[in-house]
Structure 1
């Protein structure tokens, strides 16, 4: 992979080993400022593990992860958040008994001193107002998060990241379980967010990828298989073999996991 001047994120020679298994095996990965990068690959390819390393959740066996030139390896999770890196997980994490605006305000408060948290806030901060506007949750500001739909909860979690004003957002399967309309709204949301942030999205939905991705990185068995535009990735014979081969294996094994089967099936159909 070619070195890029002024890259926001640079991963070099990264390796992660779990009980002798190399979950990540020498990954080089570069993301520029302002990119909306999609990260794809079969289950077990190393996608979430890569995000775990970037955010300090997993310690690598070797390699470096530089964010604006500063190595993140060895730093604690909260330090990395304060440096401007935020993430979501596959399962949304919101405070169900708090309202939408209270969730957003709590997320934004991590930059405030501890003594100020005991004071009752008056009005809505600019960061919270901006997060509500971009996610389209303005009308639901006073609703408890526990009554939101699945898609709305995902948008709230993304809004909670935005309220922290990160420079890099890492989103793990943000449209999983969403309706077609919610996926479309999420795609537009990601496109809007990418105007002011750098965004990396882990995704299985190839139709969603086709509509909203510009640059795609494909992982396979802990390595970068290929990288390029959606059309370049779909046309790559190695990608076709990985996805089509995995689809055949799962069909033969009678794997009925809903998400995995649907994802692989769509992928195989897309790259034919």
Structure 2
């Protein structure tokens, strides 16, 4: 089976600054992949290119055999790519249930969206259970905690039935308990979807990541398991800011 997402020879330039340089990146069906790197490494830029927010100078992005470069954002969403941003975007005045129902209807035509619906669809009920907000279904989204808003936004993606979820720093600003629940949620979602997570929290990475891609200055630095990435001296130097010898001295 071919890869779900293939990025080949990608170059992104902003006013002479090379944000991404000759990047090749592949994501297989059913993966839960973590994408890390220092600030300015090109992580969010890569997601912006995949989702149509940024146009590359050159290179290709293929999703399920379909070229994405040149498509408009809504076309990429309809192709099966969903994303969250670093700041959650929910409709605060609507209930948790209404947010999910609205997201689930993004493929419906306007008359169907305006028609009053009775009961809860199977997709919405399943998403509500997955994100663990069933007890808050009838509460306005505006009263949710930071972590709960992030879970709701993930649920709003899930009900759209994307093949690929792109999550930009989903645990930023969360408590320890919220990070743990988010990691469990990502593992649950990844059973039925391919998930790419941009993250800075190294403890979270060690706890929940299996495969990790490291970017540095817009280029692929390394890729592998958490153990392999942590053992790579290039990662220790440019991402952690410390060499293997320095880490060993701290542990002694």
TM-score relative to the length of structure 1: 0.88
What's the counterpart of residue 79 of structure 1? 75
Alignment match, 1:64: 60
**Structure 2 CA distance for aligned equivalents of residues 96 and 186 of structure 1:** 21
Q: Which position in structure 2 is the counterpart of 1:211? A: 207
The structural deviation recorded for 1:182 is: 0.3
Q: 1:55 to 1:271 in 2, by over 3 A?
A: farther
Report the aligned-residue RMSD.
Answer: 2.0
Distance between the aligned counterparts of 1:117 and 1:136, measured in 2?
A: 25
When residues 100 and 268 of structure 1 are mapped into structure 2, their CA distance, relative to the original with a 3 A threshold, is farther
Q: Say yes or no: does 1:221 pair with 2:240.
A: no
1:245 CA drift (Å): 3.6
**What residue number does 2:176 align with?**
180
Paired residues of 2:236 and 2:242 also in contact (CA < 8 A)? no
Which residue number in structure 1 is paired with residue 98 of structure 2?
A: 102
Residue 110 of structure 2 is aligned to residue 114 of structure 1: yes
Contact 1:206 1:270 survives alignment (8 Å): no
Structure 2 CA distance for aligned equivalents of residues 154 and 210 of structure 1: 21
Deviation (angstroms), 1:270: 10
Pick aligned residue for 2:157 from 137, 161, 185: 161
- SS of equivalent to 2:228: helix
2:41 to 39, 45, 48: 45
Alpha-carbon contact 1:234-1:271 (below 8 Å) kept: no
2:4 alignment counterpart: 8
Deviation of residue 120 (structure 1)?
0.6
The answer on whether the counterparts of 2:95 and 2:138 sit within 8 Å (CA) in structure 1 is yes
Distance of 1:128 and 1:244 partners within structure 2: 41
Residues 191-215 of structure 1 deviation map (CA, whole Å, 9 limit, x = unaligned): 0110000000000000100010010
Give the Å deviation of 1:140: 0.6
TM-score by length of 2: 0.95
- Deviating runs (4+, > 2 A) in structure 1? 243-247, 267-272
Q: Which stretch has the larger CA shift, 94-103 or 121-130?
A: 121-130
Q: What is the aligned counterpart of 2:123 among 106, 113, 127?
A: 127
Shift of 1:118: 1.4
1:141–1:31: structure 2 CA closer, same or farther, 3 Å change rule?
same
Task: Select 2:13's aligned residue among 5, 11, 17.
Answer: 17
CA distance in 1, matches of 2:28, 2:122: 27
Give deviations 1:84-116, integer Å, cap 9, x for gaps: 000000000000000000000111111111111
